């Protein structure tokens, strides 16, 4: 029943890439949030993808595909400093620390995520039609 399992594999990737898409929209929504409950500007989030090995799970099914192990904060890039002395969050020199979200980068990531999502949808569609082909064998 490997055709069935490939639907599970594709589904795991659909979930992972939709989560990435959610993360991107979270980043874009907060592109100008200079204040967060933890203090400081919003920090860009990135999902960390990890392969699921072909192993037998607790339910006895063979697992495979991909999963998001964590949504990490991107601390490698510094916050954007914008000169805006009248802003309540401005420092003594008049600079406001803005989130390290780059709109261009998020847009590019969005394309990658949506293309991967489409590819996995195509896998699901093919698997479905292969499965119905196998079921039609006995119709003769």
Residue ranges in contact with another protein by CB under 8 A: 2-3, 5-6, 9-10, 12-13, 16-17, 20, 49-51, 54, 64-66, 112-113, 115-116, 119-120, 122-123, 126-127, 129-130, 133-134, 136-140
Cα(116)–Cα(101) distance, integer angstroms: 22
CB 5 within 8 A of CB 62: yes
1 CB neighbour count, 10 Å cutoff: 8
Q: How far is the CB of 138 from another protein (least distance, A)?
A: 6
DSSP codes of every residue in 83-122: E-TTSTT--TTSEEEE----HHHHHHHHHHHHHHHHHHHH
- Which of 13/34 has CB closer to another protein? 13
Cα(95)–Cα(101) distance, integer angstroms: 17
- Which of 80/105 has CB closer to another protein? 105
Q: How far is the CB of 130 from another protein (least distance, A)?
A: 5
Cβ contacts of residue 20 below 8 Å, gap of 6+?
A: 47, 68, 109, 113
- Which of 66/101 has CB closer to another protein? 66
- Which of 19/82 has CB closer to another protein? 19
Q: How far is the CB of 2 from another protein (least distance, A)?
A: 4
Q: Biggest alpha carbon distance in the chain?
A: 82
Q: How far is the CB of 24 from another protein (least distance, A)?
A: 13
Q: How far is the CB of 86 from another protein (least distance, A)?
A: 42
């Amino acid at each position: 029943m490997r055709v069935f399992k490939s639907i599970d594999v594709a589904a795991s990737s659909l979930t992972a890439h939709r989560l990435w898409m959610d993360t991107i929209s979270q980043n874009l929504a907060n592109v100008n949030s200079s204040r967060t409950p933890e203090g400081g500007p919003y920090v860009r989030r990135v999902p960390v993808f990890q392969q699921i090995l072909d192993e037998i799970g607790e339910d006895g099914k063979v697992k495979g595909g991909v999963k998001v192990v964590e949504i990490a904060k991107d601390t490698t890039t510094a916050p954007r400093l914008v000169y805006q002395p009248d802003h309540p969050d401005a420092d003594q020199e008049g600079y406001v620390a803005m989130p390290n979200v780059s709109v261009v980068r998020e847009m590019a990531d969005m394309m990658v995520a949506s293309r991967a999502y489409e590819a996995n949808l195509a896998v699901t569609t093919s698997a479905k039609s292969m499965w119905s082909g196998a079921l039609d064998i006995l119709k003769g």
